[in-house]
Copies of this chain bind each other. A is one copy, B any other.
Amino acid sequence: MLILLDQDGVLADFERGFHDGWNARGDVPCPALPLAARQSFYVRDDYPSENRDVVEGIYTAPGFFRDLPPMPGAIEAVAALLAQGHDVRICTSPLNQWRHCVTEKYEWVERHLGTDFVHRMIVTKDKTVVYGDVLVDDKPAVTGTRQPVWQHVIFDQPYNRHVAGPRMTWASWQAVLPQLARRC
């Protein structure tokens, strides 16, 4: 099975990185929202609009993407998927503010998944033009210019609970992905 894995929010813990980055600043107007209170896919939409520059300043800063911690269990799960014979790729969209983000996504993969895994990266704003059997992604609706061939498996996050369909975390993937594999 060709499994496309989104990077941020699935492999890399964007939420923790943002939360810690926000609280580490001395000049923020309020404490960071706890993860359970996050309702919008775009973190900037969960903070008052007058804080938008502060919010964007955190995740566009040099080092933000490079230094994100892995999601708990993610690295081990990728190794297990490969060991099961699946073809695993990372399918990730850069920020519109791509200047640090793109290279740092590569640095993150090299650091946590190894030099060779970098060759498995697909960086694209439009994931619908990429072939795969499944796309594991925390974005509630992954849209683009085409009808995708992959099935979207929601990576569970508080801000996507309203979406129906297959859903997993790195604690539950073994009950979800093998069932889909049997259909492919």
Which positions in A face B, CB cutoff 8 Å? 2, 87, 89, 94, 96, 98-99, 102-103, 106, 118-126, 129-132, 145-146, 149
Contact = CB atoms under 8 A, between A and B. Distances in A.
A145 B3 CA distance: 13
B99 A129 contact: no
A15 to B, nearest CB: 24
For the complex of A and B, 6 pairs with smallest distance between CB atoms: A123-B123, A122-B124, A119-B125, A129-B131, A103-B103, A102-B103
Secondary structure type dominating chain A contacts: mixed
26 contacts: A2-B129, A2-B145, A89-B129, A94-B106, A96-B119, A98-B103, A98-B106, A98-B118, A102-B102, A102-B103, A102-B106, A119-B125, A119-B126, A121-B124, A121-B125, A122-B122, A122-B123, A122-B124, A122-B130, A123-B123, A123-B124, A124-B124, A129-B132, A130-B130, A131-B146, A131-B149
A28 to B, nearest CB: 29
Given A96-B119, A99-B106, 15 more contacts: A89-B129, A94-B106, A98-B103, A98-B118, A102-B123, A120-B125, A121-B124, A121-B125, A122-B122, A122-B126, A122-B129, A124-B124, A130-B130, A131-B146, A131-B149
A111 B102 CA distance: 17
Nearest to A131: B129
A94 B119 CA distance: 9
Nearest to A115: B96
A100 to B, nearest CB: 8
Contacts of A146: 131
